Amino acid sequence: MTRTQVGIVGAGPAGLLLSHLLHLRGIESVVLESRPRGHVEHRQRAGMLEQGTVDVLRAAGVGDRMDRVGLVHHGIELRFAGERHRIDFPSLAGGRAVMIYAQTEIVKDLVARRLADAGQVLFEAEALVLDGLTTGTPTIRYRHEGREHTLACDVIAACDGFHGLGRATLEALPEAGTHRFEREYPFAWLGILADVAPSCDELIYARHERGFALHSMRSATVSRLYLQVPPDAGLADWPDDRIWDELAARFEDGGGWELTHGPVTEKGITPMRSFVAAPMRHGRLFLAGDAAHIVPPTGAKGLNLAVADVTLLASALARWLRDGDETGIDGYSDTALRRVWRAEHFSHLMTTMLHVDPAADPFDHQLALSQLRYIVSSAAAAATVAENYVGLSVV
């Protein structure tokens, strides 16, 4: 049996950043991660950071590489019906901007920093059972190097993603009173990484009658692109040539804009889902990040929500564990959920407006087009998209 103040399950961005923020406040933690370090550091996922996320990483002293190689973007393009429209963030959202910096890089920066600070991050350590949640000493039973161990803690933070143990544990306890709110979408995203310079300076979100497409990037030489595909699509259905042809068709603007092709270095399919589990706390177990909520990636909010949750949780836990002040932890779930629901709404709006539901009737199609036209012709409507996209400081 070992002991720590905060036992953290999961070394994704939520768990690693929580551990680092607690360390800065003099609170000790142990992070247990079921997968190997290389897997966690190379899993291709999100890439767009809100201004607030950038500010948190800088203030925590883990923003140097982000500031050196990240790309600051001041707008996005909406493309539909052969038209191109720019949403300008600084003029519409109080001078704010966003940063393109991949989740893989944030995770590498945080792992390096935790290890440099002699933090305990155990890879290939799978949490098996969370116990004693309403006692003064909850425990985590986990398997590491072929043996089972027990970690006794003051608090457990489940930062273990959508398929993790934290939420499953709460859902199996009727007294936790966990509610699920969820929505499935009749499509998925096929994402590629390609060794080619981006064909645009800012992200392009395109609605085309063939479906949605997104042009994002990782650097001046690496592009990240996504296509709406059927929910049951397999990678075998999508050889590289078909992907490039489909992307070119969906980004078509009738005006000579061209998509440059390049070698595809990675491909994956992600289901689309909206999900919230509430409350995000039971006794001494706290959920943060994807463990508690999922958004479809169209609003680029998943990683940003994970960062917002643990920023709140770290200061609430520090006040409690250091000063005995419980107000922060008592308000954690309600405060976090306000931001979560704002992001759920925005992500749902972006998703339904930009994707083509094969079962939708022409009425839905016209509603989506009308919503897009409104956004690109009214400063008030454009500001709604801009301020949600760059992130609201108070929700």
Q: At what angle do helices 302-323 and 51-59 cross, to 10 degrees?
A: 40
Pick one of ligand RFL, ligand PHB, none as the site partner of residue 290 (Cβ within 5 to 8 A by kind): ligand RFL
CB of 297 to ligand PHB, least distance (A): 4
Whether omega before 230 lies within 30 degrees of 0, making that bond cis, reads: no
227 binds ligand RFL (CB under 6 A): no
353, 207 Cβ separation under 8 angstroms: yes
Catalytic (active site) residue 389: yes
33 binds ligand RFL (CB under 6 A): yes
32 binds ligand PHB (CB under 6 A): no
173/216 Cα distance (integer angstroms):
41
Binding residues among 293-312 for ligand PHB as defined by CB under 6 A: 297-298, 300
The residue from 11, 16, 21, 48 that contacts ligand PHB (CB under 6 A) is: 48
269, 189 Cβ separation under 8 angstroms: yes
The residue from 138, 289, 296, 391 that contacts ligand RFL (CB under 6 A) is: 289
What are the tokens at 216? 């994002």
159 binds ligand RFL (CB under 6 A): yes
- Torsion angle (degrees, nearest 10) of CA 51, 53, 56, 59: -50
| DSSP conformation letters of 67-95 | HHH-EEE-EEEEEETTEEEEEEHHHHTTT
DSSP-H helix ranges across 263-361: 302-323, 327-354
Here's the x/- map for ligand PHB, 188-207, by CB under 6 A: it reads as ---------------x----
Residue in 293, 297, 332, 355 annotated catalytic: 297
365/310 Cα distance (integer angstroms):
38
Nearer to ligand RFL, 214 or 318 (CB): 214
Q: DSSP letter at 10? A: -
326, 36 Cβ separation under 8 angstroms: no
Pick one of ligand PHB, ligand RFL, none as the site partner of residue 298 (Cβ within 5 to 8 A by kind): ligand PHB
CB of 46 to ligand PHB, least distance (A): 5
Q: Which stretch binds ligand RFL (CB under 6 A): 74-82, 257-265, 293-301, 333-341?
A: 293-301
**Nearest partner of 22 among 292, 393, 339, 320, judged by Cα:** 320
Residue in 101, 142, 185, 205 annotated catalytic: 205
The residue from 6, 8, 14, 60 that contacts ligand RFL (CB under 6 A) is: 14
What are the tokens at 9? 């399950």
Nearer to ligand RFL, 119 or 289 (CB): 289
The residue from 302, 311, 375, 390 that contacts ligand RFL (CB under 6 A) is: 302
Both ends of the chain: CA-CA distance in Å?
41
Binding residues among 213-252 for ligand PHB as defined by CB under 6 A: 216, 224
Catalytic (active site) residue 301: yes
Residues in the chain: 395
Residue in 20, 23, 73, 208 annotated catalytic: 73
**Nearest partner of 354 among 244, 218, 203, judged by Cα:** 203
160/138 Cα distance (integer angstroms):
17
Torsion sign, CA atoms 188, 194, 198, 202:
positive
280 binds ligand RFL (CB under 6 A): no
Nearer to ligand RFL, 39 or 58 (CB): 39
CB of 100 to ligand PHB, least distance (A): 6
Which residues lie near ligand RFL (CB under 6 A)?
A: 9-15, 32-35, 40, 45-46, 103, 126-127, 159-162, 164-165, 270, 289-290, 297, 300-303, 306
Which residues lie near ligand PHB (CB under 6 A)?
A: 46-48, 203, 216, 224, 297-298, 300
Active site residues: 73, 205, 297, 301, 389
